[in-house]
Each structure stands twice: as C-alpha cells, then as structure tokens.
C-alpha cells in the first residue's frame, strides 16, 4: 500500500509531525527527498563523534552539524530538531530512559545535533538504475548484520561496522556499485560483495536487525555500510546524555536525493 | 626537467627529508602517490577546524586526523609528522614566527595534526583522462584566486573560498568534471565553470597566489576549490599556536592517487 504522504512536501509533513498529528515511521513519505538519522550529544562529546565520523565516512556520512544549543537546522531542512521528528529516544549513560514525540523538555544549551545520511536515499537511486531492492519488493525492513569489520576508533568510540544487505543477480552488481558510487554522502559504494562469512556473518538468513529477505538461487549478497553503526557505537560508549531518532522515525529533509550526488 | 625523485618510493624520499637531505618543494616527486597539506592546531581548536572541514568538504577534504600529541600517522603514510615534511611554518597568534625543516622542538602534547587532500592528486587523473593542465604544460605554479564564495563558518573560522583555475577547451570540460567527480577526497568537481566575475574575480590574468597561465582564445576557465582556503581561514582566526607545511613543501603519502577514488 502506497504511503498517503508519498507525494507530500517535506515542510507539510514536518508541520504535522510538529503538531503531533503524525508519530509513525517515515519510510515511504515525501518520495525523492532525503531522510536523515539523528544523534544529539553534549558538546564535550562532539569532537570525538565528529572525528569518528571523519574516520568512518561510509557508515557515518554527516550531512549537518548544529551549533551548541541551536535547535534550528540551517542546511538540510528548515526544521526544529527538537520537534520535527516523529519519535525520539532519550539516553542517560547509554541506557534508554524515555521515548517521546518532542524533546523540548530535555533540551539543553550544550547539545549538538548530528544529522547523518540514510540508505533510503541511495535506494531510490538503485531503483532508478533498474536495480532490484528485495526488501522493498517484499515490503520488509532491510536486513542488517553485525560484522567483524572494525571501525577506526576515535576517543571512547570504537566497535565493528553494521551493514545492510541487498541480494542481487550478478548482472546488476556493476550498476549497483556505480549508482551508489555517485552518492558518497549516503553510505556510497558497497563494503563487501559475496561470501558473508568473510565479514563475520555466520547466517545470512538471520539478520541482527531488520527483517530477513528472500535470496534467489544465483544471487549474490551485496553489503553496504549502515547508519545503525554510529548509533550503536555511540551508545556503547555510554555518554552521560544523548538523544536519537527512534528506529524508522527519521527527519524528512528539504534536500532532493539527487542533490546528494557528488 | 623531470624531477630526479619522480619515480622514487615515498618512504625513501621521506627518509631523505627526515635526514635533512631534501628541503625543497615536493612537486613532481613520487609520481602516482598523493601529497597532503598539513595544519597542526592545539586540541582546543581542533573541533572548530574539524567542523569547518565537515561543512566545507570541497576546499577542506580531510584525509587523516591524529590523536593529540601523536606524531606518527596511522593511515596515509608511515611518517613522523614533525620531521617528514621538507619545510614547515610556525605561527603564533596568526603571525608567522619561524620557518624550519623539523618542528620537533615546537612539539607539544596537545597538538592535533590535520592532513588535507591536494590537487596534485586530481591533476594526475586529469592528465590520464587526456585533459590539458596548462600550468604543468607551462611549468608554473597553478593560478589561485580569492573569490566571493563564502565558506560555511565554524566557531572562529570564517571567510571566502580560494579557488585554483585551469583553462580548458570546451570539449574537455565534461571529461574534467567526470574525472574529478571520482575524487571527492581531493577537492572533487569544479565549483565554477565560466565567467570569473560571477565568483568575484576581477582580472583572470592576475592570480592572488601562484602564477598566471596562458588562456587561449575559445578556452573556458574552470575553477576548483583550493587547499589554500583552510590554511588562510585558520590563520585569519589567529589561533594561539599553529604549524603548517611551507607552500609547495608537502607530505608525500603512501597512498596511490587511485585509492582516493570513491
């Protein structure tokens, strides 16, 4: 079933989200516009996170960083980051303490917001390039896996990369690589093509996050760095305070996906 | 005249630089290997600089950031950043106070080194794509200009972009765009193609830095973001202490240019 907001303008949908009229997942909304992951940290932790992102650009492609305390974004959306996401998670010392639709009561003058690119953007490129995206065909969440690929650490932040997987017939792999190569700001090219065991995945039918999808005979699993990586690694480092979007409840930006190319 | 170290291995040339046997410019050395710009700042200023780089990736493509106090690089070269560049500049409160071939006596435990991509890398790609690079043909330094293109500020760091210019016959512009599009980590695609006045350049024959080059009738000036930008903007912000490479005296890395693609 097509999302009733598939062709809505981002500003209209964000207004409904801000008013509390929309509190669900954003997948399928505002087709053509990029959606973004959110991580909010105290300024004291911002350098380590920004450095982690610089060292790991594939799992952690930063689209915008706010000034400390600033709620309004300046670049990717005319949005108030404390109200314009449908659902937030609030963490203390790495533990989830609240799930809310508005984080204004939690806002502090030392908070820095990081908006991070999301694979929704490159999936629309894949579809345009004629590449099958199995979990969309099967109306499921993308399958995601923990791997043995170590991220380059920064300060307290260290851990392995999480990847998303899309099975492809061999003749579509080159197109999938070139289509995503054009989008380095939303995870870019695959990090692995082929044998899951080589990156520490024991059972390709049992994802660690998201849903399993059908892999037809002759198809090759293709793996991309996943935006779950920075969120998992930040929370493992147990910052005294943090906010993130709730899974699947993203910021809908004013940026057309095609503008994220090059 | 071909550089006598054109085909030397980076480690060999860095050893001669470390021993004080080579103190000149690095242009033309170790063909095929990326060279990098250096900016060293106290940790207190590192966040603002990293954020400036994140917000201005075209003029400021960061290749590596060290831990505070750490002299050895981990990724782009097996190098001691305090000795393996032929010539350094040392700044206090934004003013040049020394030019030396070894900054060990100035080293401090709070210093963070930023290694930044350099257009030497994409010029080798242009040449391979059959695109003429005029200043190389004429054995001059690339012409660089101040512009009216505002960088996105971060903390104390703000100012306009500096660009480099290469004149091209119209039929080579597309190839120049696609060749440099593949190299977002070394300035990427042009920031302007055509009329210099549109980006605030009054006289294309009078560069603000580097040398003028011949522009033949029918050629179009093509402008790329330049690594001089971050250095100029950092020094204008007058940090209490800073170190940079001396112009043209770069770090020769162990990274083949082709590995900077995507």
Q: What is the pLDDT of residues B12-28, one digit of tens each?
A: 999 999 999 999 989 88
Residue A75's pLDDT is 93
Q: A190 near A176, Cβ under 8 Å?
A: yes
User: Rg of chain B's alpha carbons, rounded to an integer?
Assistant: 18
Q: How far apart are CA B33 and CA B36, in angstroms?
A: 10
For chains A and B, CB pairs below 8 A equal 32
| pTM as predicted | 0.85
Cβ–Cβ contacts within 10 Å for residue B148, how many? 11
- Interface predicted TM-score (ipTM): 0.78
Q: Tally the C-alpha atoms within 13 A of residue A12's C-alpha that lie toward its C-beta.
A: 9
In sequence order, which residues have a C-beta less than 8 Å from that of residue A79 and are 6 or more positions away? A14, A72, A73, A251, A253
Q: Tally the C-alpha atoms within 13 A of residue B42's C-alpha that lie toward its C-beta.
A: 9
Residue A140's pLDDT is 87
Written as six digits, the tokens of A50 are 């920004």
Shortest alpha-carbon distance between residue A49 and chain B (Å): 10
Minimum CA–CA partner of B112 in chain A: A51
Chain B residues whose C-beta is within 8 A of a chain A C-beta are: 46-47, 50-51, 53-55, 62, 65, 75, 152, 181, 184, 188-189, 262
Minimum CA–CA partner of B76 in chain A: A55
Domains along chain B with CATH numbers: 10-118+237-260 (3.40.1640.10), 120-230 (3.30.2040.10)
**Mean pLDDT over residues A34-53, rounded?**
95
Q: B6 near B31, Cβ under 8 Å?
A: yes
Residue A186's pLDDT is 87
Q: A123 near A227, Cβ under 8 Å?
A: no
Contacts of B63 in chain A (CB under 8 A): none
B169-225 tens-digit pLDDT: 999 999 999 999 888 888 889 999 999 999 999 999 999 998 999 999 999 999 999
**Mean pLDDT over residues A80-96, rounded?**
96
Q: How far apart are CA A107 and CA B124, in angstroms?
A: 49
Contacts of B55 in chain A (CB under 8 A): 65
Shortest alpha-carbon distance between residue A43 and chain B (Å): 10
Q: How far apart are CA B132 and CA B126, in angstroms?
A: 7
Phi and psi dihedrals of B11, rounded to 5? -60, -40
Residue B262's pLDDT is 61
């Amino acid at each position: 079933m097509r999302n009733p907001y598939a062709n809505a303008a981002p500003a209209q949908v964000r207004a409904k989200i801000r008013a509390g009229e929309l509190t669900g997942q954003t997948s399928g909304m505002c087709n053509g516009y990029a959606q973004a992951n959110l991580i909010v940290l105290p300024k004291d932790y911002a350098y380590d996170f920004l450095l982690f992102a610089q060292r790991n650009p594939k799992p952690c492609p930063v689209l915008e960083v706010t000034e400390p305390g600033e709620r309004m974004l300046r670049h990717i959306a005319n949005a108030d980051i404390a109200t314009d996401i449908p659902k937030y998670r609030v963490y203390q010392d790495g533990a989830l303490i609240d799930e809310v639709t508005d984080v204004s009561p939690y806002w502090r003058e030392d908070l820095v917001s990081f908006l991070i690119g999301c694979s929704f953007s490159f999936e629309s490129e894949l579809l345009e390039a004629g590449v099958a995206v199995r979990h969309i065909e099967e109306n499921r969440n993308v399958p995601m896996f923990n791997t043995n690929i170590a991220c380059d650490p920064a300060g307290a932040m260290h851990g392995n990369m999480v990847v998303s997987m899309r099975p492809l017939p061999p003749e579509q792999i080159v197109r999938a690589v070139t289509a995503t190569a054009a989008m380095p700001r939303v995870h870019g090219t695959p990090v692995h093509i082929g044998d899951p065991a080589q990156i520490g995945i024991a059972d390709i039918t049992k994802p660690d996050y998201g849903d399993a999808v059908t892999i037809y005979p002759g198809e090759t699993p293709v793996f991309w760095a996943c935006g779950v990586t920075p969120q998992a690694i930040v929370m493992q480092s147990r910052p005294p305070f943090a906010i993130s979007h709730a899974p699947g409840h993203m910021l809908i930006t004013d940026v057309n996906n095609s503008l994220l190319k090059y």
